[in-house]
Structures are given as C-alpha cells and as structure tokens.
Chain A
Amino acid sequence: MKKDRKYNIKTTDKKTLEKWFRLMTLGRLLDDRAPNYLKQAIGWSYHAPYAGHDGIQLAIGQVFDRETDHLFPYYRDMLTTLSAGLTAEEIIYNGISKDLDVAGGGRHMSNHFAKPEWNIHNVSSSTGNHTLHAVGVGRALKKYKTPGISICSQGESSVSEGYVYEAINGASNEKLPVLFVIQDNGYGISVPKKDQTARRKVADNFAGFKNLRIIHCNGKDVFDSMNSLVEARKHIEEKEEPVIVQANCVRIHSHSNSDAHELYRDDFELNYVREYDPLAKFRRLLLRYERFTDEELTVIEEEMKQVVKIAHKAGMAAPDPSPDSIHDYVLPEPYVPEKYTDGTHQFEGNPMKLIQALNETLKAEFRHNPDTYIWGQDVAHKEKGGIFNVTKGMQKEFGKERVFNAPIAEDYIVGTANGMSRFNDKIRIVAEGAEFADYFWPAMEAFVETTHEYWRTKGQFSPNITIRLASGGYIGGGLYHSQTIEGTIATFPGVRVVYPSFADDAAGLLRTCLRSRGLNFYMEPKALYNAPKAATPVPDDFEVPFGKARIRREGEDLSMITYGNTSHLCLEAAQKISEEDGASVEVMDLRSLIPLDKEAILASVKKTGKVLIVHEDKVFSGFGAELAALITDEAFEYLDGPVKRVGSTFTPVGFNRILEAAILPDTEKILTAARDLLQY
C-alpha cells in the first residue's frame, strides 16, 4: 500500500521536505516571473510555464544523479532542471539568452534548459525526438556496463510522434535502462488529448510491449511522484529494462506565451486547474501534518524571492552573445592526416574494388579504435554484411556488441547514434543510415537534429557519427533504388558531406571520417562497388583530408568538376575529347562537398576559363547550382564561356532502362555539353 512507500508527508525528514519546498517555491517564482521579461522586451519570448507539473518535475530532478545519469528534459521542464541542480542564474541566462547560458550561450530557444556538462542534455524543440537520444545513450550505458539510467521527459501529446514509438520499441527490444516520463496535462497546445490517441492514458498504448513496465502517478503530488520515480528507477536497475511513468498533471496557464487558453478552456476548467495547484497542495500538507508552521514557510518564500532578485540582477548584467561568434562551432576540427596531406599517394599495388576498400578500412578502423560501433539494417550476419556486403565479416571479428542489426526504423538508426555518442567523446559510430539512400528520408528528422547539436551546445556536444549510404543509380533500380540525396543534405550546416568515386579515395575518406569528431555524411556510389573502373591500389594507411579535391586528369582547355558516379563518365568523355577533338580537359573529383575545396576549383577555372559541372543528381537545385554560383561570383573575370551543368532531368528516376538512360547523365550528354562549351 501507499504508506509503505519511501516518501510520505508524515515520515519524510524535515530537511528533505524543506529542500523540496525551496525548489518548488523558487521554480514557481521564476515561472511566474518569466513573462515579465517578454513584457519588458528583455527576452524569454518563448516560455512554456510548468505550473501544474510541479510534483513530477521536482521528482525527476531529485532522482537524477548527475554522476551517473543522463537527463533529457523538454521545454516545459524548468523545475526539473532546477531540481536537478541548475541555479536560478542559469535559468535566467537561458531565459534571456545570454552568453553565460550553460545550455549553449543563447543559441537555442529560451526555456530549453540544459547543462551538458552534467549530462542534462540540450534537446530540440522538435517534440519528443529526444526519446531517440535517450535510448541511444541508454544503449551506451548498457554496452559499457556503467551504472546510471537515461531519463527522458515529454508531454503526452508528443507521444503521437512516430519516433517515440520507435524509441520505446527499441528500448524494449534492446532492454535499455531508460525512464520515459510522460507529463500529461491533457493538451498539446489547444488540442485536447482525445485527438491524439484513443486511450486517455497514452502510456497504456505500450502495454503490449515486452520488457517494459508502465507506472501511472499523480504528477501534481510530490510524494506520489517521488515514490513512483524511485520505484521506476529501482525497476530499471534491477530488471534491466525500461519503464514508462505517466504523470497526471494540469496545465494551470496557457501552453506558452503565444497561446491564449481562455479561447478554448471554460471558466470551470480554468478554475479547477488552479485549485489543483501542486505547490499549494504541498504547502497545505506541510501545514496540516504540522511539519512546518506558516511562519517557517513564509520565511523560505521570502528567501527565495531574494534568490530570484539576485539572479535577475546577474541576468541583466550578463553579456549577450557576440554576433561575431555565429560561425563558431558549426563543425569541430576534423582529423588532419599527416602522411597523405593532400589525399593522394603513389602506391602501386593490385587494384582493390571500392567495396573491398570500404570493408577493409572499416575493419582496420575497428581494430584501431575499440570504441567504434556500426549498425544498420541487415549489416550483421555471419556470412553476410549488409545487402551489398560492405560489412561482411565484421560481426564475426568484432562481435555482436559492436556490429549489430537495427530495426527497419531509419529515424531510430540515426537518432540513437546521436544519443549513443553522448556517452563519451571517444565513441565513433558508423550508421548505415538506410539500406539505400532512397530510404533515408524517414531519418531526416534525426539527421537535421544531429547537424544542430554542436552549434546549439556551443561546442559542448559533438555527435561523432559517420552516416554511410549506398547511393545513386545506374543499376536499373527505379525511383526507390537510384536516389542520390547530397543536394538536400548539403543544405544543412553542421555536417561534412563526402562522395568518393574511386577505391582509394573511398578508403582514405572513410578513415578520416572515423578518426574525426563531428557528423559525416558518407555517400557510396553503389554502382561502383564492384566496378573495375573504380578499383585502384589502396595503401593500407591511406587517408584523405576533408575538403581536398583531386585532379584525376590534368587539362588546359576545360574543367569538368564532378564527384561520384559521374567522375568516371567525365574521364571517359575527357579521353574521347582528347582523342577526337584534340582538346585537353581537366577532370576534378571533388570528393568532399562540405567542406568544399574552393581553392582547387577556382585554380582550375582560372587555368581553363571554361567549366562544366557534372553530377548525377538533378541539375535543377542540385549541388552544382552552388558550384556554378560560386564560380561566377568569384572567378567571373576568368571565364570564357557560361558555366554549364550536366545532371539528371527534373524527374524521378524511371525503372525501365530506356527511361533511366533518358534521365541520368551519361558520357554522351557530357560530351555534347563539353563540345558546346569548347566552342566559346
């Protein structure tokens, strides 16, 4: 029964009760004061008041152990983070976006409280996507056999997100030490929870999941919340499986300061949510059970007002972030190869296929660094390794702990990579983002999120992940086995994008990716995996620095700037032109799109005066548009003709080979364009 539980108004020691009352009072003073900053045009333009969630938020912070745990609070979790140890100053610095904000120096929206230093993670505004991160770090806790749990908190409505289901499914399947707290206030902004899911209590939707306990509690009650979370934690630690706690709360105020709840809640409701104020209840209990006198509580309330006053002063005096700092922390410094400084070599061995270069480099890097992991769909079988066999033999050599299959849930694959890399900075993750680049779209959310981390935390967290994708067409694959998605990917700051076209570069770039901090997007032209033309000798220790293009053929009359599958088509075209037209064409394989080797591009343009940009992706809005703009902007005076582009038509890629050929670039199309250009 209830009275056997650890915390109770009659038996909990006075010091603990006082600590709670202090925190709750302080929290509410800050919560109530936050709107003033907006009214006075100081800041805190986004504030989601927590009043009504006091019990559960206090409890989350109290069960969180900063020595061992990871906490993923959401935008309403002010008291959670205070209770976990943030100071009033830290709350205000975040609220008014000061440089001293420990979450990330005012880069992230207000009311997103965090302290990465203590593993109180800086999370997205994207409702509930931190469930994936919490599960990812839970995986690391388990793999490294460290004590501690991962705690994730969110509202009940955002549980509707598909990734939340993916996260809970994964935690249940992998039996991870994750505590999912659902703070149920009945609304997602103005939408009542009945419009989200059929059950009143969304946690019960997961009742059929194995290895998962579901606990309900009264989030408006300090004791029930504390006891439930203590019980949840114990269960996670003893049973080594996740727990969901759904806490019943009320939302006393509007969703946020851009919402007016009077428009959709009647007076009856507005009144009863106020009557159920958890802080008022706690205070009543303290008095009714004679644990404190009214005078004692009033003294604490006055003290807390002083704390807020002092914090406010500190906030007002704190410096703003500098506009000059915006380019800091987009990406961490990469690994810089010492031996192969420009990413070329003179090694003359037997040619190795591109797929073998990938496989051997992965293995070599996994031997080199024990904190490397790889997962994806189908990557881990005894005799197989991925549908293309890139990871063949890896599970055998490195074991199931480091090489394992993922569910068909791309968002989960990438989102948990993000989460797992939070465990420590030594970890390097290779995520086969999807079986084909075409199926990466469900992971876009997790991808975008991951591009933000380093910048948003002001360099406090670097997701050290390489996302590999079998990309591109020329295999008769149709709409869903031919896509090449770098045009989209390269629009996001916070990721390096590489796209090799030869075995040696594939090996060298992969090694650099795996040794670097930060997020790398590694596109593999799958049509070249086994192509003899892409096979090259590969030095064992080859490395290719990021942002170094490679001239695969020198020339004087025209520059072809390309990457991926079309590198080979350009080389064929260049050869033909030299044989048939007597002109000399330079073929530059960019290898890296981000960072881009601007210097090499401009040098080549200045030399030849004519540029043909060739890529497999669509011409319209393809990456080549950026290259063309760059060249006209920075080398216009050197141009002897228009910057021309060859790529796919603005259509999907058709399955019938006749359609595919009409859509994708080929040597003929490149030749025609190059010859036109040579006429200028």
Chain B
Amino acid sequence: MQKIAIVYSFNTMKTSKIAKRISDAFGKNAVEMVNVEDVTPKQFLKFDNLICGTATWFDGELPNHWDEFVPELEDMDLSGKKVALFGLGDQKGYPENFLDGMGILGDILEAQGATMVGFTSTEGYTFESSGAERGDQFIGLGIDFETQGSKNKERVNGWVEKLKLEFQ
C-alpha cells in the first residue's frame, strides 16, 4: 500500500488526537501527517491515498484552516485519488448541523474528481440534520468527543480496518 497522508490542522485539539489515533492504527510507517495550515497543492497532490480530518465549527462551518485551503482544492484535479474523511462534531450541542464540515469538505473533494472512501453508517448517532449524510451513511467517520467520546477508539479502529481494504 502506498503511503497515506493524514491531512488536518496541527493546531487543533481534538482533531489532532483522532489523527494520531488513526495513524497509530495504520502503523507509523504507513502514514504521513500533513498540516493543512501550510500545505501546498504540490505536497497535497503527492499522495494518492488521503485521509482528511475536520471538525465543524460555528453552526455548520468548515474551520478556517480548511476553508483557507479550499481555493487551492478547487483548482485541483483529484481524479484517481482516494480520499477518506473523518469529521468531529457535537450531535447534542449542534444537532442541526452535525458534522456539516465533513460534508462540505466531501462535496468539494468529490467535485474535483476524488473517489470518496470510508463511508460509515449513521446508526448510533442522534441528530436532526447533517451535511455529511449520504443516504443512510456518513461520507466519512463521525467522531463526537462531547457526547460519545468513549466510542472513539472502537470507531477509529473499525474504520481503519475498513480503509485498509478500500485504500488498495
């Protein structure tokens, strides 16, 4: 398997924790951590397998670190790339916009031709609406530190096992 990039902001708290957990589950040598705060298109496009992580902020927004990279993303040809997403959100505090950030990012990547992998079931989450929903699945892995933090480990590990197959 080719090296996988985990792209996220190094300045985050919880997103960083999940990124580390994912990295551990793959094994250190399988992944490279990439900071979205200063990544260049060239660095991003170096990878064919990417995992992008984002929380949702401010009632359904992509955090600045991703938002500021979007104009670059929008000029990229991502066909042939496999991208998996993980998103952080709070289903109790923000049930109207649960994991929207992951959904926004997914829309952009898909529009640029990326093949999205790592969809997960929405079962086990309670919310009103989510921009990350695709049918009865989330476009990526949903993590909720605030209300379901105890499930993080199991969710991440299960997801990584699935990704190992999808990232062939």
Contact = CB atoms under 8 A, between A and B. Distances in A.
Contacts of A274: none
B97 A200 contact: yes
B74 A285 contact: no
A2 interface: yes
Contacts of A484: none
B111 A1 contact: yes
Interface residues of B, number: 18
B67 A221 contact: yes
B97 A8 contact: no
A501 interface: no
Interface stretch (B56-64, B118-126, B134-142, B146-154): B56-64
A184 B60 CA distance: 13
A3 B59 contact: no
A1 B108 contact: yes
Nearest to B63: A276
B71 A10 contact: yes
Contacts of A80: none
Contacts of B59: 184, 200-201, 248
Interface in A247-292: 248, 250, 275-276, 281, 284-285, 288-289
Contact of A200 (B67, B75, B96, B107): B96
Interface string B99-116: 000000001100100000
B61 A1 contact: no
B31 to A, nearest CB: 25
A155 to B, nearest CB: 15
Residue among B59, B70, B94, B107 with the most chain A CB within 10 A?
A: B59
Contacts of A289: 71
A250 B68 CA distance: 18
A234 interface: no
Contacts of B64: 275-276, 281
A533 interface: no
Contacts of B71: 3, 8-10, 285, 289
Contact of B61 (A2, A248, A285, A288): A248
A218 interface: yes
A270 to B, nearest CB: 15
A285 B96 contact: no
A546 B96 CA distance: 58
A3 B107 CA distance: 12
Contacts of A250: 58
A1 B67 contact: no
B96 to A, nearest CB: 5
B96 A284 contact: no
B78 to A, nearest CB: 13
B96 A199 contact: yes
A288 B68 contact: yes
Contacts of B68: 281, 284-285, 288
A2 B94 contact: no
Nearest to B111: A1
B99 to A, nearest CB: 14
Contact of B58 (A9, A248, A288): A248
Interface string A204-225: 0000000000001010110000
B70 A2 contact: yes
Contact of B75 (A10, A275, A288): A10
Interface string B50-83: 0000000111110010011011001100000000
Given A218-B61, A250-B58, A281-B68, A2 B74 contact: yes
B39 to A, nearest CB: 11
Nearest to B62: A218
Contacts of B74: 1-3
B67 to A, nearest CB: 7
A157 to B, nearest CB: 15
B72 to A, nearest CB: 8
B105 to A, nearest CB: 12
A276 B94 CA distance: 19
A251 to B, nearest CB: 12
A289 B40 CA distance: 10
Interface in A182-240: 184, 199-201, 216, 218, 220-221
Interface in B8-51: none
A1 B107 CA distance: 9
Contacts of A9: 71
B96 A201 contact: yes
Interface in A297-352: none
Contacts of A8: 71
A311 B137 CA distance: 58
A2 B67 CA distance: 11
Nearest to A223: B71
Contacts of A216: 60
A2 B69 CA distance: 13
B158 to A, nearest CB: 31
B12 to A, nearest CB: 11
Nearest to B96: A200
A216 B96 CA distance: 14
A12 to B, nearest CB: 11
A185 to B, nearest CB: 10
Contacts of A3: 71, 74-75
Contacts of A221: 67
Contacts of B107: 1
Given A200-B96, A289-B71, A2 B58 contact: no
A252 to B, nearest CB: 13
Interface in A120-146: none
Contacts of A285: 68, 71
A616 B111 CA distance: 74
Residue among A2, A275, A281 with the most chain B CB within 10 A?
A: A2
A200 B61 contact: no
Interface in A1-40: 1-3, 8-10
Nearest to A278: B64
Contacts of B70: 2
Given A1-B111, A3-B71, A10-B75, 17 more contacts: A1-B74, A1-B107, A1-B108, A2-B108, A8-B71, A184-B59, A199-B96, A200-B97, A201-B59, A216-B60, A218-B61, A250-B58, A275-B64, A276-B64, A281-B64, A281-B68, A289-B71
28 contacts: A1-B74, A1-B107, A1-B108, A1-B111, A3-B71, A3-B74, A3-B75, A9-B71, A10-B71, A10-B75, A199-B96, A200-B59, A200-B96, A200-B97, A201-B96, A216-B60, A218-B58, A218-B61, A218-B67, A221-B67, A248-B61, A276-B57, A276-B64, A281-B68, A284-B68, A285-B68, A285-B71, A288-B68
Ranked nearest first, the 3 interchain pairs of A and B with the lowest CB-CB distance are A3-B74, A200-B59, A9-B71
